């Protein structure tokens, strides 16, 4: 059996089965959450890594500055989804023979994004490769109420920060075959090419009754399913409450792009979370559903099926 | 100007210039040492990353178990070169559509190497890529006397653990064009395909008068030059003292491979260090030289020129 048949989740499961864990030292281990949570001598730390490749994640239209920014942002988003404080990153860069100016733009993008969120690039690696591959790793400080995927209970509220589907529209229309008004195109590509990790929001949620969280980078419905599976509870989403930019929605409709597909493409680095306190959510967040006993994900009480973005299903129509 | 003209060291210098540093929080930053040394709330941590790619670092002859082992070992070696204790690793894997069994072998190799040195894989990332690319990142605990590259003084001793040139012979003869006795071939390829990070030795050195250290993965002479440059001191190596396995040396000679080239190919994950106490070095280590005031690297008091392994000099004859 090969990875394409196993699928990404199956492969990650296979990996975690081969790894030893010491539950005294490792509070959250491989495959469990957006970050690992580990105990060093004196403190708890968040630790995560994300690899981006030109072919899979970094469209050729993406400027070097944005590549650097994004490589850091996706790691910060992992810290945000745990409600933590980012501290330090390493960045390993595999690159073809680019120019000095392109390299400078790349690392300036990394520096800007990390500094914006009070963290620093402290080291890494550099090697030659046939296409750009960047791996950033991050350590962060958890808050007292760390947000895990398995913390949701029935009778809580489901909410999401910002808006979803914006990056999805950019990913879906990147081939240039669709027609988008210039303003909408710019908005969509800004979201895809310069994601804004929700660090402050994550910290706010963790301090104000948040019970579980995940980032929706692999798609809203897919992430909802992950929260549901981890917490062993059900979730119903009210489709009318999903925060989608009206201009994005109308452009999608004009191009015959299904809205439900759009929000499940991923690329929006928003935080999906459950909370006991629907009145104490970040300003930019929206309540979009409720949790329940029966472990299933429904939209408007109809069961749905979603796989989100799966790296090992190249036949998956959602993949770019 | 492109990276091939800039060279690896030039490119790293360029990168570090674009990164902000807070010297209160970051004791050793980008490009300075084998690991970054950072201050979290309550403690100091070592943090490092290494990226390996199939084309550049992982010969096609290398089994998946060894690939996993090596990806972890090179990170452990960074901790060893600082005299530290490894704690936790993340591993990001970019991979083509390999089999479940190959993936299992890969991650079993990672697990075995990390467990052998009392550390754990706690998370990571998985994505599809046209060739195997692995990035491991590691955090570790420094000892009181952390070994930096810039800690050497004149009138100290230069020493190296284990033997050098063994992995170099494997790298040099991997094409199969050279003739090696089976026993020698096995020995050389074991060193190249299953490097043994010198964690215990690093800790011993840090506790027993070690003043500076670096791993020699990029070549013995190249690493000596890096210690010399960082510490702003000179180093003379006594060529007769360089520990090279006699069988490796004789096979190299028979194949007209220059011994000095061999030891500078790299791939031996040994620790090169300076110490005040030549009688308190690890059992497997050898004194190979002395430090001096005048900042230059000499062998038998003759000046040498070495570049070691440079990722961005493909014309470099040392590259495989």
Averaged pLDDT, A48-57: 94
- The beta-carbon neighbor of B120 closest among A1, A21, A120 is A21
Averaged pLDDT, A143-155: 97
Residue of A135, A218, A312, A316 to mutate for B, most B C-beta atoms under 10 A: A135
- Do residue B100 and residue A47 have CB atoms under 8 angstroms apart? no
Give, as one character, the DSSP assignment of residue B141.
Answer: E
Residue A218 marked ligand-binding: yes
Give percent above pLDDT 90 in chain B: 84
What is residue A319's predicted lDDT score, i.e. its pLDDT? Answer: 28
Distance between CA atoms of A218 and A233, rounded to whole angstroms? 20
Q: What's the mean per-residue pLDDT of chain B?
A: 93
Phi, psi of A47 (to 5 degrees): -150, 125
Residue B124 marked ligand-binding: yes
- The beta-carbon neighbor of B30 closest among A22, A26, A121 is A121
Residues of A in contact with B125 (CB under 8 A): 49-51, 135
CATH classification code of B33-141: 3.30.1330.10
pLDDT category of residue B319 using cuts at 50, 70 and 90: very low
Residues in contact with A232: Cβ distance below 8 Å, sequence separation at least 6, in sequence order: A150, A295
Phi, psi of B15 (to 5 degrees): -60, -50
Residues of B in contact with A3 (CB under 8 A): 95, 97-100, 103, 128
Residues of B in contact with A124 (CB under 8 A): 30, 49
- Do residue B36 and residue A88 have CB atoms under 8 angstroms apart? yes
What is residue A320's predicted lDDT score, i.e. its pLDDT? Answer: 29
Helix H, strand E, coil C: the string for chain A is CEHHHHHHHHHHHHHHHHCCCCCCCEEECCCCCCCEEEECCCCEEEEEEEEEEHHHHCCCCCCHHHHHHHHHHHHHHHHHCCCCEEEEEEEEEEECCCEHHHHHHHHHHHHHHHHHCCCEEEEEEEEECCCCEEEEEEEEECCCCCCCCCCCCCCCEEEEECCCCHHHHHHHCCCCCCCCCHHHHHHHHHHHHCCCCCHHHHHHHHHCCEEEEEECCCCHHHHHHHHHHHHCCEEEECHHHCCCCHHHHHHHHHCCCCHHHHCCCCCCCCEEEEECCCCCCCCCEEEEEEEECCCCEEECCEECCCCCCCCCCCCCCCCC
Residue B149 marked ligand-binding: yes
- The beta-carbon neighbor of A88 closest among B1, B38, B53 is B38
If DSSP codes are grouped into helix, strand and coil, which group holds residue B290? strand
Give, as one character, the DSSP assignment of residue B64.
Answer: H
Phi, psi of A295 (to 5 degrees): -75, 90
Lowest mean pLDDT among A221-225, A314-318, B186-190, B302-306: A314-318
- The closest of A219, A226, A312, A218 to A274, measured between CA atoms, is A226
Q: Which CATH number fits domain B157-303: 3.90.226.10, 3.90.650.10, 3.40.50.2300, 3.20.20.100?
A: 3.90.650.10
Residues of B in contact with A133 (CB under 8 A): 51, 53, 94, 129, 133
- The beta-carbon neighbor of A141 closest among B40, B93, B115 is B40
Averaged pLDDT, B118-141: 96
What part of B 83-122 touches A (C-beta under 8 Å)?
A: 87-88, 90-95, 97-100, 103-104, 107-108, 110-111, 115, 120-122
Q: How many CB pairs under 8 A join A and B?
A: 249
If DSSP codes are grouped into helix, strand and coil, which group holds residue B21? coil
pLDDT category of residue B307 using cuts at 50, 70 and 90: low
Burial of A103 (0-12, 13-18, 19+ CB in 10 A): buried
Residues of A in contact with B55 (CB under 8 A): 129-130
B222: part of which helix (H) or strand (E)? Answer: helix B220-231
- Do residue B135 and residue A31 have CB atoms under 8 angstroms apart? no
Whether the pLDDT of residue A151 is over 50: the answer is yes
Averaged pLDDT, B64-78: 97
Residue B57 marked ligand-binding: yes
- Do residue A43 and residue B43 have CB atoms under 8 angstroms apart? yes
B55 touches chain A (CB under 8 A): yes
What part of B 142-161 touches A (C-beta under 8 Å)?
A: none
Compute the nearest-CA separation of A181 from chain B (Å). Answer: 33
Report CA-CA distances (Å) from B202 to B30, B81, B213.
21, 6, 8
Q: What would the pLDDT profile of A202-234 be if each residue is shown by its tens digit?
A: 999 999 999 999 999 989 999 999 999 999 999
Q: Quick one: tokens of B37? A: 């040394």
CA distance from start to end of chain B? 24
Residue A305 marked ligand-binding: no
A46 touches chain B (CB under 8 A): no
Distance between CA atoms of A285 and A157, rounded to whole angstroms? 12
pLDDT category of residue B176 using cuts at 50, 70 and 90: confident
A29 touches chain B (CB under 8 A): yes
- Do residue B30 and residue A314 have CB atoms under 8 angstroms apart? no
Residue B34 marked ligand-binding: yes
Distance between CA atoms of B320 and B310, rounded to whole angstroms? 11
Residue B129 marked ligand-binding: no
Whether the pLDDT of residue A109 is over 60: the answer is yes
Residue A300 marked ligand-binding: no
The answer to whether the beta carbons of residues B185 and B200 sit under 8 Å apart is no
What is residue B311's predicted lDDT score, i.e. its pLDDT? Answer: 63
If DSSP codes are grouped into helix, strand and coil, which group holds residue B116? helix
Distance between CA atoms of A159 and A287, rounded to whole angstroms? 4
Residues of A in contact with B127 (CB under 8 A): 51, 53, 56-57, 311
Residue of A37, A93, A113, A125 to mutate for B, most B C-beta atoms under 10 A: A125
Residues of B in contact with A126 (CB under 8 A): 8, 11-12, 15, 311
Residues of A in contact with B91 (CB under 8 A): 49
Residue B228 marked ligand-binding: no
- Do residue A129 and residue B133 have CB atoms under 8 angstroms apart? yes
Lowest mean pLDDT among A244-253, A311-320, B235-244, B307-316: A311-320
Domains B33-141 and B157-303 in one fold: no
Residue of B68, B117, B122, B143 to mutate for A, most A C-beta atoms under 10 A: B122
- The closest of A90, A57, A1, A95 to A311, measured between CA atoms, is A57
Q: What would the pLDDT profile of B54-63 be if each residue is shown by its tens digit?
A: 998 999 989 9
What is residue B251's predicted lDDT score, i.e. its pLDDT? Answer: 95
Averaged pLDDT, A33-61: 93
Compute the nearest-CA separation of B222 from chain A (Å). Answer: 17
**For chain A, what are the domain ranges?**
33-141, 157-303
């Amino acid at each position: 059996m090969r990875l394409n048949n196993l699928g990404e989740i199956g492969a990650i499961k296979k990996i975690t089965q081969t790894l030893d864990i010491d539950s005294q030292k490792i509070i959250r281990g491989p495959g469990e959450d957006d970050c690992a949570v580990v105990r060093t001598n004196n403190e708890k730390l968040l630790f995560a890594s994300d690899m981006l490749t030109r072919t899979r994640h970094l469209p050729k239209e993406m400027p070097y500055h944005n590549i650097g920014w994004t490589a850091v942002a996706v790691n910060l988003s992992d810290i945000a989804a745990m409600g933590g404080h980012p501290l330090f990153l390493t960045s390993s860069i595999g690159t073809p023979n680019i120019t000095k100016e392109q390299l400078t733009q790349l690392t300036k993008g990394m520096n800007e994004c990390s500094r914006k969120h009070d963290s620093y690039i402290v080291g890494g690696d550099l090697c030659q490769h046939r296409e750009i591959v960047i791996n950033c790793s991050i350590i962060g400080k958890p808050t007292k109420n760390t947000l895990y995927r398995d913390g949701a209970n029935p009778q809580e509220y489901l909410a999401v920060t910002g808006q979803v589907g914006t990056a999805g529209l950019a990913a879906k229309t990147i081939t240039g075959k669709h027609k988008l008004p210039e303003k909408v195109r710019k908005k969509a590509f800004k979201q895809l090419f310069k994601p804004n990790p929700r660090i402050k929001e994550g910290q706010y949620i963790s301090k104000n009754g948040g019970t579980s969280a995940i980032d929706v980078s692999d798609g809203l419905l897919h992430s909802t399913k992950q929260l549901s599976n981890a917490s062993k509870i059900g979730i119903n989403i009210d489709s009318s409450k999903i925060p989608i930019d009206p201009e994005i929605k109308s452009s999608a409709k004009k191009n015959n792009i299904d809205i439900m597909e759009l929000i499940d493409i991923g690329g929006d680095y928003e935080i999906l979370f459950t909370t006991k306190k629907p009145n104490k959510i970040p300003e930019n967040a929206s309540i979009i559903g409720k949790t329940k006993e029966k472990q299933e994900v429904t939209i408007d009480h109809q069961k749905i099926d979603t796989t989100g973005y799966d790296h090992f299903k190249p036949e998956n129509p959602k993949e770019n």
